[in-house]
């Protein structure tokens, strides 16, 4: 950033854009938040809201420490979003169980447990009998599992609505129905051209998820290499006692909601910008769910959701200022972990933009690892 921006245009109203807009506005910036869709209606609406860093991030990846830090912020993040907005946000820290049906999978769980022990993270390897005691719906074929009590889940749609409402209450102008086509510097300002008119600010945050590389940015030869990875997620109407916690197998995860809905995720497909559910995706997820929890065959089928995860070549987010246009800041490429990483991303983006404080964790996430952007 050349100087502390006062007027910021945030491009993209998914969980990341809403969290960033909210944090900037809360700290006194004048913010416009723009998206073609309603807030949270891109990849965010298809998220199961899992908060499981020890499952999603591998040992040694900078993502792991970043995700663990972000998880630590979640209690306060949800409480503040909810109280500032008046929107209830269902949020549970009931842990996860990762189950194995074969010895090979069990070996991987033991390796994960050893890693967690070396970090001082509570986790427990259990045998099949104990796993079924914890989750009576598990198939008799389960030979063991790994319990991680720190994990949880949050209603991603409600959280995003809460953040958007809270951003509005802090003065943010939320512009829905405005597809951004071009970002360009003009004098000391930045212009954001949408199909409905042009917005002006003295800084821009690009948080457009899978679409971040599609927007024309004047003066930039390269674009950030974000590509869509389609995720299909099923909603089932569960009958009877719910699962107690998020349950993972090799082929799917299951997230139980108090309203009796069970979410089953997720496919990971290179399908370009095609946001349709497919028969194959639905069948694969149903089979995977029923293999681990056979009672799922009795569930009602409530529908499928589809989202395009914003993936990067190294599976790490892109967070930091452009070197070509210093008033352009990237907050994108959160791939499978946008919900989990939202609190820390918002905090570090606001620290960098408003206070010039660059957290050391951002070194691995710099946009310049992908060239002159
Ligand atoms: N974080 C889970 C998924 O992307 O499917």
Mean pLDDT of 246-265: 95
Name the residue of 46, 54, 56, 153 whose CB sits within 8 Å of the most ligand 1 atoms, as the mutation to test its pocket: 56
Indicate if ligand 1 lies below 6 Å from the C-beta of 170: no
Range list of H helices, the chain: 15-26, 53-56, 62-72, 74-85, 103-118, 128-134, 156-169, 279-292, 338-355
> Ligand 1 centroid to 337 CA: how many Å?
7
Tens digit of each residue's pLDDT (9 = 90 or more) over 302-319: 999 999 999 999 999 999
Whether ligand 1 lies within 6 angstroms of the CB of 266 is answered as yes
* Mean pLDDT of the residues in the chain: 96
- What percentage of the chain exceeds 70 in pLDDT? 99
Cα(203) to ligand 1 centroid in Å equals 31
233 Cα–ligand 1 center, Å: 9
Across the range 54-59, mean pLDDT stands at 91
307 touches ligand 1 (CB under 6 Å): no
Ligand 1 center from residue 2 Cα (angstroms) = 36
Q: What is the pLDDT of residues 126-155, one digit of tens each?
A: 999 999 999 999 999 999 999 999 999 999
Look at residue 6 in the predicted model and tell me its pLDDT: 85
pTM above 0.75, yes or no: yes
DSSP 178-233: --EEEEEEETTEEEEEETTEEEEESEEEE--GGGTTTSEETT-SS----EEEEEEE
Give me ligand 1 centre to Cα 106, in Å: 22
> For position 2, what pLDDT does the model report?
56
319 within ligand 1 shell (Cβ under 6 A): no
Q: What is the predicted pLDDT for the residue at 220?
A: 79
Is the pLDDT confidence value at 254 over 90? yes
Domains of the chain: 7-84+156-226+314-370 (3.50.50.60), 96-149 (no CATH), 227-311 (3.30.9.10)
| Rounded average pLDDT over 174-202 | 93
Q: Which residue's alpha carbon is nearest to atom 3 within ligand 1?
A: 336
pLDDT digits (tens, 9 = 90+) for 214-225: 999 998 778 999
How high is the pLDDT of residue 1? 55
């Amino acid at each position: 950033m050349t100087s502390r921006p006062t007027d910021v245009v945030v491009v993209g109203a998914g969980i990341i854009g809403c969290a960033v807009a909210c944090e900037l506005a809360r700290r006194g910036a004048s913010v416009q938040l723009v998206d073609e869709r309603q807030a949270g209606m891109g990849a965010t609406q298809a998220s199961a809201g899992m908060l499981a860093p020890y499952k999603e991030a591998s040992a040694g990846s900078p993502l792991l420490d970043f995700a663990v830090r972000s998880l630590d912020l979640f209690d306060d993040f949800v409480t503040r979003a909810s109280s500032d907005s008046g929107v209830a946000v269902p949020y549970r820290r009931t842990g996860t169980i990762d189950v194995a049906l074969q010895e090979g999978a069990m070996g991987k769980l033991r390796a994960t447990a050893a890693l967690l022990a070396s970090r001082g993270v509570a986790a427990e390897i259990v045998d099949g009998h104990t796993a079924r005691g914890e989750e009576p719906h598990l198939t008799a074929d389960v030979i063991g599992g790994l319990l991680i009590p720190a994990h949880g889940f949050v209603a991603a749609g409600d959280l995003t609505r809460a953040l958007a409402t809270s951003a509005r209450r802090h003065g943010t102008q939320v512009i829905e129905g405005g597809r951004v086509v071009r970002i360009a510097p003009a004098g000391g300002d930045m212009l954001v051209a949408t199909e409905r008119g042009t917005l002006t600010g003295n800084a821009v945050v690009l948080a457009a998820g899978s679409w971040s590389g599609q927007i024309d940015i004047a003066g930039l030869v390269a674009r950030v290499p974000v590509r869509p990875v389609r995720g299909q997620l099923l909603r089932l109407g569960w009958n009877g006692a719910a699962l107690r916690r998020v349950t993972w197998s090799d082929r799917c995860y299951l997230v139980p909601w108090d309203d009796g809905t069970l979410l089953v995720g997720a496919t990971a497909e290179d399908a370009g910008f095609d946001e349709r559910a497919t028969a194959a995706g639905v069948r694969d997820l149903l089979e995977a769910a029923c293999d681990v929890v056979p009672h799922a065959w009795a569930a009602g089928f409530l529908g499928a959701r589809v989202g395009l995860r914003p993936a990067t070549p190294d599976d790490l987010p892109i967070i930091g200022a452009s070197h070509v246009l210093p008033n352009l800041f990237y907050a994108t490429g959160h791939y499978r972990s946008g919900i989990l990483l939202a609190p820390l991303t918002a905090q570090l983006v606001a620290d960098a933009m408003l206070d010039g404080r660059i957290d050391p964790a951002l070194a691995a996430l710099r946009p310049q690892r992908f060239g002159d952007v």
